[in-house]
Structure 1
Amino acid sequence: MGKVFTITEGLENMGAIRTGGQGSVYKGRRLGEIISAVKLLPTPIHTEDKKDKNYRDFSNEVEKLKKVNEVPNPNVVKILSSGLTESGSFPFIEMEFIEGPDLEELLKAPNDPIFSIHELVKLANQLSNALAHCHKVGVKHGDIKSNNVKFNAFTGNYVLLDFGLAIMSDEERRTSLRRAGAIEFMAPEQSEGQMLFESDVYSFGVILYELLAGRVPFPLNDKGETARNKVMLSHMEAPVPDPLELRRRHIPKTWSPEKAESEMRVPVWVLAIIKRCLEKESESRFKNGVELHEAVVKGFTADLGNSEVAVKRSSQLEKENNELRDRLLILEGREISQEPVAPVAYTDPDKISLSKPLFYGLLLLLFGLIAYTAYSFYNSEPTEDRVKSIYPVDSVSVDSTELNSDPEIKANDDLDKRIRSSIDSVERAEAKKQDTTTNEPVEPVVTEPEPEQNNEPVPVPTENEPEPSQRPPKYTLSVTKAYFHDSPNESSRREAFLVKWNNAELTALDDKNGFIYVVFFNIQGQVTKGWLRKRDLRRIS
């Protein structure tokens, strides 16, 4: 399509998309293949001077509009640029071009004349989110209608378009609405030129009503002034027709009886929101998009809590997506059988998606790390935490001065000291003999006398006490796990135990009733004393 006139440098005019009393929307192309939509306002501005009221008003509204895109929102069209055209000096705003049908097109044949409940709730959530986003930064749209909400064929989102009225002055807005506004979607107060946050809420209610019932509450029969006045008067005074009765009349004949019955069960909260949005007095509506969106989310969340509703909607999701793909194919003029189209799905910007190869790679890496950790655990020296887990009851530090009041354990401690002293004497004697053989001077060995413990008799087993001239036998574990006992009998088993991977060499300090008494020192300097069953051990010397 050839140029009509130049918009601005680097932005080519590819022809009008639609025109109206509030301005025209053109398809634009920046240098390269970037396609955009350009809204031209009908009132020219001849000087870019702040003293010019029209230019000042336009600049102020554009600055407000820029706030909408400071935080991106998937349901609001992106504003790319704004300015005055090189020819004609018309104010314009450049927006991203959304590929896909608008709501007005989705309600026309060969599509169904009404939306399914699932798709209606989806649109209510996304469009109220768009309004909440705009109202938070103080921007009123002012022209919400079916052909200003598009379905993005690439993301599956519904997107609010055309902020043309938002950048008009109050006088321009009043004139535009009076002459060429979409009267079917206008709030009662807009007939007097007012544009409130509640006006956008009213238009939102009209859209939901139209998608649910198959038509707007007060349709425009022709474009004459009389018909327009009749519609506006109806907005101000007439009661809203029952949307459920209209929905029943517009049920498609292609729907099965089961689907038709299911689609007539409209959630109560949806009907309540529509009713409140369409109140005649602005004070009775939701005060802005934020309050409206909160009500939609609350109703939607409560609906999901109903398991029956959730199951039915999830079962319909795939079928409705397929129907929507078919609609898009028909609109694009292609035969359904010619070219398979990937399912359109909503992509949540807060979620991270992974390709299948990357996902399986990460999964293999995770299994490898688990295997390596397990291998390291069973083939490495025990750490302090692992040693503590093996001796959870009676592992104590070597330098501990705490005495146990149990007489039998006292006796075992005294036995340890006496046997240890005897072994030390034997080792020193052997060392002296070796030193004498090599004619090297040997320092005299001084054995300190054993300090008296107390005057109480200590039961010391003497039957198997090793002589200084012989070494006590040594053992190691022959089973996976060997438990310590407080005395040489089965009934005195404790929670502490040794495991085979300790590779412990255990010196039998006493031998009684098929048990040996040992003192085990671990690598952390902790000591565990007690009796071990000989059948759990293997003698190594």
Structure 2
Amino acid sequence: MAKIFTITEGLENLGALKSGGQGSVYKARKTGEIITAIKILPTPIASESDDDKHFISFQNEVQKLKKVNEIPNPNVVSIIASGITSSGNLPYIEMEYIEGPDLGDLLKPPYDPVFTVKETIKVADQLANALAHCHRANIKHGDIKSNNVKFNQHTGNYILLDFGLSVMSDEQRRTSIRYAGAIEFMAPEQSSGETLTETDVYSFGIVLFELLTGNVPFPLMNKSEMARNTVMVAHMETLPPDVISLRRQALPGYWSNEKQQREMEIPVWLLSMIYKCLEKDPAKRFKNGGELQEFIHLGTIGDERKKGINLSLGEKATIQADESALKKEILTLQTRLAEKEELLKDLQYLVDTRDKELIEAQYYSATKRRGVSKSLFFLVLIAALGLAGFAAYDTFYKPGKPIPTDTVAQTDNKLPETTDSITAVTDKPIKKVREKLKKNSNTRTLATSQMPVKKLAPVPDSTSGGDKVYTGDKFTILNTAYFYDAPDKFRRTAIYLTPGDATLTLSGETDEFRYAVFTDDKGRAIKGWLLKKDFKPASDY
């Protein structure tokens, strides 16, 4: 039986519960029948004054612990009091006594060697809740391990215990961790004495790894200094083993095949969370318990929705309402798209109509100017011939030279302003769509009121090359046939023939082009190169 002695006035020591590098835990009884747990730290305090740096550090950390308990948390042990022992001047923390096994005990007989997936997720959720609560109060536990998480037999909750490291000074913490800490659960940065919120996250990942596989990723083979160094280096340099293969080996043989198969179905989010916790670089882990807790909640909710179970009526109604609203929005967008497509077709028709009217205006304007210049030419010619008759009568009977009749407008002439041109359309949406169509189209070159009329190439000599000449034959225009001022697809003009019958005179020829003269029913002619694919003899069609 353990020796009974008084820790301090009002606290009776009922025996040691466990001992470690961070101190010893005793079961104690306050005056009366209240049972508590006492954590006694190994570093003595010389005096309870501001001159003792250890006492000041201890007091500061105790104040932080009290903040943790300002708002009770079902997964964090309650801190009752703190002080200095009557003998030895050792600092102590008085906590509530949790009756039940710790996680390490639950992995030993008579319990199963591994936790079920469901129970592992429960531990993860409750331990993350405890860490989130501590980290919000700026408390870094620094000693998360399976022996410091107990199962409360009365409440069914898992409780985070033993805040011994959190109340030590940095120097004390470095020494304690290096020589006496649970090296199997230590984060890489703890080898240099650094403790972060991400440090607790790393140890959290080790605990879950142990629950699923029955062992830690880097087990300590013995208590020698060499064995401790080997584990410490593994934490810093070696990737953790595969959880799934280790779990398959550790499943108890007395479980049924059905249960074994079911227990190998580990959620992907749970595995990814564990491996992220075990990243060597603290910056790549979850930042704190709050991020862990949020990730776990998202993972469990996702699992429930995939299975279609455990959803309340309210949650199901919310999901159905969201789906209905989404379908309505999709239908509305589809209707708007159809309306926009119809508007685009109307605007395309309007643009084509305006283009045709502009081309016709260009053609008739050019023909009119040509007629005026020809009349003036004949008037001057007749006057000149009359004067010449007095000097050489015999020349009056000589045949005159053919008069050139260029039917195409001169290059420098400009089109007159038309009130019916495309630029007269003031509707802004139509204008924007037309500009977009003009940019995107690679098959139409529009002539505007400010563009000069292109001069077509002259008729090639029909006697050269032995080309057969068709004079005034009927042809069928298959497509919109544009005139080109050279047998080159990049030399297209704005003048074209619409599909239908037309009278053409053909001469020069290349692989893709024929030189053509088009004469309308009023005797007006247009010359230029046409693509062969755009027309055929009427007799062949």
- TM tier, smaller: 0.5 to 0.7
Match of residue 143 from structure 2: 143
SS in 2 for 1:16: strand
Whether 1:244 and 2:279 are equivalent positions in the alignment is no
Q: Which structure would you say has the larger Rg?
A: 2
Match of residue 230 from structure 2: 230
Match of residue 275 from structure 1: 275
Match of residue 217 from structure 2: 217
CA contact (8 A) 1:148 1:162 kept: yes
Give % identity. Answer: 62
SS in 2 for 1:83: strand
1:506-521 equivalences under 5 Å are none
Paired residue total: 311
SS in 1 for 2:26: strand
Match of residue 100 from structure 2: 100
Deviation at 1:46, TM superposition (A): 2.2
Whether 1:256 and 2:256 are equivalent positions in the alignment is yes
SS in 2 for 1:291: helix
How far, CA to CA, are the matches of 1:144 and 1:239 in structure 2? 20
Deviation at 1:309, TM superposition (A): 7.1
Q: For 1:232, give the aligned amino acid.
A: M
Q: In 2 relative to 1, CA 269–81 (structure 1 residues): closer, same or farther, beyond 3 Å?
A: same
CA contact (8 A) 1:3 1:12 kept: no
Match of residue 180 from structure 1: 180
Q: For 1:116, give the aligned amino acid.
A: T
Q: In 2 relative to 1, CA 2–19 (structure 1 residues): closer, same or farther, beyond 3 Å?
A: closer
SS in 2 for 1:306: helix
How far, CA to CA, are the matches of 2:304 and 2:215 in structure 1? 28
Match of residue 47 from structure 1: 47
How far, CA to CA, are the matches of 1:21 and 1:162 in structure 2? 12
Deviation at 1:117, TM superposition (A): 0.8
Match of residue 158 from structure 2: 158
Match of residue 62 from structure 1: 62
How far, CA to CA, are the matches of 2:147 and 2:309 in structure 1? 30
1:397-412 equivalences under 5 Å are none
1:52-451 equivalences under 5 Å are 52-307=52-307
Match of residue 31 from structure 2: 31
Q: For 2:98, give the aligned amino acid.
A: I
Q: Residues 53-99 of structure 1, C-alpha deviation per residue, up to 9 Å, x if partnerless? A: 01001000101111110000000000000000111110000000000
How far, CA to CA, are the matches of 1:86 and 1:41 in structure 2? 14
Deviation at 1:3, TM superposition (A): 4.4
Q: Residues 409-457 of structure 1, C-alpha deviation per residue, up to 9 Å, x if partnerless? A: xxxxxxxxxxxxxxxxxxxxxxxxxxxxxxxxxxxxxxxxxxxxxxxxx
CA contact (8 A) 2:65 2:139 kept: yes
CA contact (8 A) 1:303 1:310 kept: no
* RMSD across aligned positions (CA): 1.2
CA contact (8 A) 1:50 1:56 kept: yes
Q: For 1:168, give the aligned amino acid.
A: M
How far, CA to CA, are the matches of 2:300 and 2:170 in structure 1? 36
How far, CA to CA, are the matches of 1:4 and 1:173 in structure 2? 30
CA contact (8 A) 2:4 2:12 kept: no
SS in 1 for 2:189: helix
SS in 2 for 1:276: helix
Match of residue 539 from structure 1: none
How far, CA to CA, are the matches of 2:251 and 2:75 in structure 1? 29
CA contact (8 A) 1:78 1:96 kept: yes
How far, CA to CA, are the matches of 1:74 and 1:303 in structure 2? 25
Q: For 1:130, give the aligned amino acid.
A: A
How far, CA to CA, are the matches of 2:64 and 2:208 in structure 1? 28
CA contact (8 A) 1:286 1:292 kept: yes
Q: For 2:286, give the aligned amino acid.
A: F
SS in 2 for 1:206: helix
1:501-540 equivalences under 5 Å are none
CA contact (8 A) 2:143 2:165 kept: yes
SS in 2 for 1:29: strand
Q: For 2:20, give the aligned amino acid.
A: G
How far, CA to CA, are the matches of 2:193 and 2:20 in structure 1? 18
Match of residue 531 from structure 1: none
Q: For 2:243, give the aligned amino acid.
A: P
Deviation at 1:169, TM superposition (A): 0.3
SS in 2 for 1:121: helix
Deviation at 1:24, TM superposition (A): 0.4
1:10-25 equivalences under 5 Å are 10-25=10-25
SS in 1 for 2:6: coil
Match of residue 434 from structure 2: none
Deviation at 1:2, TM superposition (A): 5.3
Match of residue 531 from structure 2: none
How far, CA to CA, are the matches of 2:8 and 2:301 in structure 1? 47
How far, CA to CA, are the matches of 1:309 and 1:283 in structure 2? 36
CA contact (8 A) 2:44 2:88 kept: yes
How far, CA to CA, are the matches of 2:132 and 2:246 in structure 1? 29
How far, CA to CA, are the matches of 1:241 and 1:148 in structure 2? 24
